[in-house]
Chain A
Amino acid sequence: MRYRQFTTFVPQINAMIRFFTSLLLVLFALTASPNLLKANEEHELSDSVSTKKFNTGDLIFNHIKDSYEWHIATVGHTHISIPLPVMVYSQHSGFHCFMSGKLHHGTESFDGFRIAAEGKYQRKLVEIMADGTEVRPWDFSITKNVTSLFISILLILIIFLSVAKRYRDNFARAPKGLQSWLEPVVIFICDDIAKPSIGKEKYQRYLPFLLTIFFFIFINNLMGLVPFFPGGANLTGDISVTLVLALFTFVITSFSGSRDYWVHLVNAPGIPLWLKLPLPLMPIVEIMGVFIKPFVLTIRLFANITAGHIVALGFYSLIFIFAEKSIIAGYGISVLSIAFTVFMGILELLVAFIQAYVFTLLSALYIGLALEKHEHHA
């Protein structure tokens, strides 16, 4: 029960952290180093000159949403991007596989497929039917986020297999290099997240899962903050990804649920009878809770990371919005804008850790609650 109180407390901690960091943000804006900013200003200017009509919404959504190619830079009117494989299964024309370069950045159609410019399927691949309507096929494309997913998984495997090798060779050796960075975090997750949440007897069974989600989320959050190629995809800010992570927690929670857990869902003891009969109010609330937990996990991670990206890009876009009115205003605002963006970056470093921590902690708590036995109840 102690933990349930703590879970309700987590959003408040988040809100507090956000408040204090925004205060710091303003302070930093007033004292930012002018040299650092000057170097950035010139760079931004050359970008803004090439942009004809600036659309903030497009810029932000192009970044935070998935795409079929990995855009690196735009020089003049030439887009430099890495084409990625498109794989679709259409109910009408079967299986198709081609590189996204054939679509010419979404300006042309290929093989009866194109990227919808607007409407319900905006930015997604659609099949053009004979009557001109757009139909969404089964889309297995290796998109920007899928590529980023693969890269991050490769990175995680390289990191942890090399670290594991050191332990396998000689566990008694003092930690060194990467190992000494990771070891405190691993011990933190074991001793401060898993052990108190799940309990001493059974926590070891769930450690591999908790460690994996923590480092998966943390490393992908960090990769999302790197603005160029291997990073920059908004993977943990994609609801499909967070949904899968939450589903894992949900499945593990459900499968490890004790008898008490299921009985309490339907017939919680210590609650007045009129809340259960004739209208089963409490059972409805409890059963809803089972599904709300993973839903909340999905939304929290998705919203936090996406919001971070949107805010950082929003500040950045201010330069171009003002520069469209007058070039001097663009210069002027860039000082503030860069300061904000830099600080959003630093704040997001913090958020990257906090969100990984919160997701892992809540998963551990949900598992712990499902395992709990209530012998003391009458």
Chain B
Amino acid sequence: MGLVMPEFGLFFWMLLSFSILLFLLKRFAWGPILKGLADREMSIEEALKSAENAKEEMLNLQAGNEKILKKAIFERETIVKEARELKESIIRDARNEATIEANKVMDHARASIERERIAAISEIKSLIANFSVEIAERILQEKLADESKQKELIQNYIDQINLN
């Protein structure tokens, strides 16, 4: 019967020491342990989440890089194409301009040559006229001694003028 009857002494000591144990463990052991476990769980969860985020970001970055690269290539091609076109147009323009300029110079030259020629001709004409007059004067001075000859000469001149 003694086996199943609680003993006062042990009951007392157990009540006292278990209460103290509960208090001490709660204050100094379970608090830090449970907090540590919760903190660790949270930090692991956060680490996983941030790793996942980093991975996603990397993918995004990679996709972005690719896009930028593609855009750069496209841009380069356009620039090169544009440059080529520009070059061609510059050359074409230069050629056209040069041609026009040359033509202009040629035209000018031609016009001035023409002008010079006309001036020279008219000068020659006036010189010839002068010479002719002088010659005629001399001839006249010489030949006018004879009237028949004078008449013949005048007739000659008149004929020549008619031919002219």
Contact = CB atoms under 8 A, between A and B. Distances in A.
B135 to A, nearest CB: 132
Contact of A122 (B2, B8, B24, B37): B2
Contacts of B43: 171-172
Contact of B2 (A123, A167, A171, A306): A123
A140 B9 contact: yes
B39 to A, nearest CB: 5
A197 interface: no
Contacts of B37: 167, 171, 183, 186-187, 190
B33 A163 contact: yes
Interface string A229-271: 0000000001111011101100000000000000000000000
Interface stretch (B13-21, B58-66, B82-90): B13-21
Contact of B17 (A64, A150, A240): A150
A150 B18 CA distance: 10
A168 B17 contact: no
Contacts of A139: 7-9
Q: Which of B17, B21, B33, B35 has the most CB of A within 10 A?
A: B33
Contacts of B20: 153
Nearest to B6: A240
A156 B28 CA distance: 12
Nearest to A245: B18
B18 A168 contact: no
Interface in B1-50: 2-15, 17-18, 20-22, 24-26, 28-37, 39-40, 43
Interface string B52-74: 00000000000000000000000
A32 interface: no
A146 B10 CA distance: 6
A164 B32 contact: yes
A209 B6 contact: no
Given A167-B35, A241-B14, A156 B30 contact: no
A192 to B, nearest CB: 14
Nearest to B21: A153
29 contacts: A122-B2, A138-B8, A139-B7, A145-B10, A146-B9, A149-B13, A149-B17, A156-B21, A157-B25, A164-B33, A164-B36, A167-B35, A167-B36, A171-B40, A171-B43, A172-B40, A183-B37, A190-B37, A207-B34, A208-B30, A208-B31, A212-B22, A212-B25, A216-B21, A238-B10, A239-B4, A240-B8, A240-B14, A244-B14
Interface of A: 61, 64-66, 121-124, 138-143, 145-146, 149-150, 153, 156-157, 160-161, 163-168, 171-172, 183, 186-187, 190, 204, 207-209, 211-212, 216, 238-241, 243-245, 247-248, 302, 306
